[in-house]
Structure 1
């Protein structure tokens, strides 16, 4: 059965990003639980920012799980990417993500690679960029498997990366490099820009889909734009998807209203 999650961000440099709650963690966890979510998706400045035991206690106290952990602070706060022209910067980026994977493993949660994938251009050719990405993902794949969690690669829209913008080519890339422990994050906002048919894209990616960002076409709470949520849910059920649909969205200044609207949009499908 699919489960629901909501984003909690504690990175000042990401305060303007598409995250629902930015409160101190005890407050944010309480709000997530009050709105009826099953889990939280966490965005921290790094793996040493919040002790694992603190998260375990908050989860236990509010009957919440950890759906996933974002790595975007590596880019937003530290300017790191896996495809940087600098070998030193690429190494730092990989170390940052491996630290996050270790942290996530202790919470049984996968880590997301979004903005830290970077892009090719300038000093870095497309072939080099993809080579840098594949080499890094090989290390991450092994680390995540050792930690007992999958890893999530997120195709982003064309304005944020030129590596992979659609699910199917990303899935082929993962297969070609035998990255069996890496799954795809299907972000419906990015997909609305890049995929001709959201449901068809999900069906084609099939078992590679490991996480869903549940956002409408305008990146607000589902029901605010023109995404066909019924078709998306039908596709997810068609591929026997059993993981999280998580609200990574803008809130128009009212986080709790956005959170409640998100939960209403999933409850109508029995989620």
Structure 2
């Protein structure tokens, strides 16, 4: 069954971005549960930011699951990426993501690699940079597998990375890896920029999709932009997707209104 998920940012250094809820974990979970969300996706400063026992209590109390954990704080706070030319920084980035994998796996949740994938720097060779990314994903994919979960790699739009921008590019890259524990994140906002046809891209990438970010063309909640969701939702259902539809969208007009708009849209297209 396809499940709904709200996002929450708990990183003090970030004051605005594509997350529905902010700062207060329990009140956010309470609100999400009341609206009927199935799960929460967490964006935290590190793997040890939240006491695991307390998180389990809250998830149980509000009858929520943990859909995924973000790793972007490794770049936002520490400036680390998996493709930094400095091998010491690359290793630190791998360790940071590895710790996030361990944290999420305790709740059955995969970790997401988005901004931490980095970029091909101006003076560096593209193939060399991609080899660094491949090496990192091999290590982290094995870590995820050994932890009883999988890893999520997210193609981002051209304004955020010059590595992989389309689902097709992501599929081709993953198929060259030895690990089979890395899946793709289909982010509807990024796909609106990069894909000629979002629905066709989802159909073509179906077996590789492990997570979906639910945001409209302007990165506001679905229904506040111009994404044609009917065909997209039909494509998602036709690939027999059974993961989470997670609202990585701007909290506009307000967090509460964004959450309400998201769950309304989710029910319209997936229930």
TM-score by length of 2: 0.98
- Aligned-pair Cα RMSD in Å: 1.0
Instruction: Report the Cα offset of residue 253 of structure 1.
Output: 4.7
Matched, 1:188 2:188: yes
Q: Does 1:242 align with 2:229?
A: no
SS of equivalent to 1:176: coil
Determine if contact 2:2/2:270 at 8 Å carries over to the other structure: no
Separation in 2, partners of 1:37, 1:57: 17
Distance 1:159 1:239 in 2: 29
Q: Paired residue for 1:2?
A: 2
| Structure 2 residue aligned with 1:168 | 168
Residues 189 and 215, structure 2, Cα contact 8 Å, conserved in 1: yes
Whole-angstrom CA distance in 2 between matches of 1:166 and 1:269:
24
Which residue of 2 is the match for residue 209 of structure 1?
A: 209
Structure 2 CA distance for partners of 1:123 and 1:87, relative to 1, 3 Å = farther
Q: Any idea what the Cα deviations from partners look like across 1:41-90, whole Å, max 9, x if unmatched? A: 00100011112111111100000000000001001011100001111111
| TM superposition shift of 1:270 | 4.1
How many pairs does the alignment contain?
271
Q: Counterpart in 1 of 2:20? A: 20
Alpha carbons 1:83, 1:132 under 8 Å: kept: yes
Please state how far the C-alpha of 1:144 moved relative to its aligned partner. Answer: 0.1
User: What is the SS of the residue equivalent to 1:58?
Assistant: helix
Cα shift at 1:202: 0.4
For residues 4-55 of structure 1, give each alpha carbon's deviation from its aligned partner in whole angstroms, at most 9, with x where no partner exists.
Answer: 0000110022221111111321111111112210000001000111121111
State whether residues 221 and 252 of structure 2, in contact with CA within 8 Å, keep that contact through their aligned partners in structure 1: no
Is the aligned partner of 1:111 residue 2:107?
no
Q: Structure 1, unaligned stretches of length 5 or more?
A: none
Task: Give the Å deviation of 1:218.
Answer: 0.3
Task: Tell me the distance in 2 between the aligned counterparts of 1:3 and 1:213.
Answer: 12
Q: Does the 8 A contact of 1:141 with 1:179 survive in 2?
A: yes
Equivalent pair of 2:150/2:181 in contact (CA under 8 Å): yes
1:221 Cα offset (Å): 0.6
The answer to whether structure 1 residue 221 and structure 2 residue 221 are counterparts is yes
